[in-house]
Amino acid sequence: MRWQRGRRSDNVVDARGRTGRRVGGGLSLGGVALVVIVSLMMGQDPLQILGQIAGQATQSQVGSSGGVPAANDQQRDFVRAILGDTEDTWRELFQRAGQQYRDPQLVLFSGGVNSACGFASSAVGPFYCPGDQRVYLDMTFFREMEQRFAAAGDFAQAYVIAHEVGHHVQTLLGVSARVHAARQRGERVEGDGGLLVRQELQADCLAGVWAHHAQRRHDWLEPGDLEEALNAASAIGDDRLQQRTQGQVVPDAFTHGTSEQRVRWFSTGFETGQPGRCDTFKAARL
């Protein structure tokens, strides 16, 4: 993958080596409760306020910690290039739809990190937090992809980043809020065909949409690159992961979709380049 052709994003926060503990100590449960109460009294969204607090804490720690990332850090440069190109893609697509795209930040961390969604260790893998609209990534996940799941390659890594950015797109479009509201109402969202699976498959499709437009702009895919992304999507399907870890497949516990579904929805986005083709919530067949 000729990723060096991509524009570098300025929205990458490199906090590796400085986020193994809770950023800024985090809010206590009592502090969270107080923020919620005060926010409601003021007619404001508690999640937005908590997200702002978490963001300020993260920025504070990054700014006050020693250690400046190396200028020739190729891993960071790669992430900046991929994130920058997702920004270019979604800004254009949102503009075509008469909307404005808000760039997410991407936080590189090592060991563990605190976000508006709580503290997470590297074991959870890359994730997106709607509360602060940030993608969180420990680069060691890519080594795990290669060693444990035989999913190697730079385009496979780009797919992972684009998938998490897909969740940001869902947040801006209100999809994430609707899934969260269903959970709050007590609806079951897990399981084969459930809302969580549909949400994840849509993020796969949106990652494919990005890849379609990125390839049109840069012609940066080399032989084998597309297969890398499809292999990564297949390797982290619920059925394959369950078979590997539990020795059996339990569809009622699905949260991300099967390997076949993930490959198919990413391919749909890549082949069409149309976000409208990614409505997994209305699809009769996932």
Distance (Å, whole) CA 102 – CA 200: 21
Is 112 in contact with 122 (CB distance < 8 Å)? Answer: yes
- Residues 6 or more apart whose Cβ sits within 8 Å of residue 194: 188, 254, 255
**Quick one: pLDDT at residue 22?**
43
More confident residue, 270 or 48: 270
- Residues 6 or more apart whose Cβ sits within 8 Å of residue 54: 23, 114, 115, 116, 131, 132
**Quick one: pLDDT at residue 70?**
55
- Residue 20 to residues 23, 76, 108, 111, Cα–Cα distance (Å): 8, 18, 12, 5
Strand partners, 46: none
pTM (two decimals): 0.81
**Range in 87-91, 124-128, 229-233 the model is least confident about:** 229-233
**Quick one: pLDDT at residue 72?**
67
**Quick one: pLDDT at residue 48?**
52
Per-residue pLDDT tens over the stretch 235-245? 888 888 888 78
Per-residue pLDDT tens over the stretch 102-155? 999 999 999 999 999 999 988 888 999 999 999 999 999 988 888 887 788 899
> What is the rounded radius of gyration, in angstroms, for the C-alpha atoms of the chain?
19
Distance (Å, whole) CA 157 – CA 27: 33
**Quick one: pLDDT at residue 230?**
87
Average pLDDT, the chain: 84
DSSP line for 214-259:
HHHHH----TTHHHHHHHHHHHT-HHHHHHHHHSS--GGG-SS--H
Distance (Å, whole) CA 166 – CA 208: 9
**Range in 63-72, 199-208, 256-265 the model is least confident about:** 63-72
Q: What percentage of the chain reaches a pLDDT higher than 70?
A: 81
Q: Where are the beta strands (DSSP E) in 87-245?
A: 105-108, 112-115, 118-121, 127-129, 134-137
Q: What is the mean pLDDT of residues 188-205?
A: 93
**Quick one: pLDDT at residue 271?**
96
Q: What percentage of the chain reaches a pLDDT higher than 90?
A: 57
Per-residue pLDDT tens over the stretch 61-87? 443 333 445 556 899 999 999 999 999
Q: Is the pLDDT of residue 23 over 70?
A: no
Strands 12-14 and 134-137: unpaired
Closest CA to 107 of 47, 156, 168: 168
3 state SS of 129: strand
Give the number of other Cβ atoms within 10 Å of residue 247's Cβ. 7
Q: What is the mean pLDDT of residues 256-263?
A: 92
Distance (Å, whole) CA 228 – CA 156: 5
**Quick one: pLDDT at residue 29?**
47
Closest CA to 193 of 263, 253, 244: 253
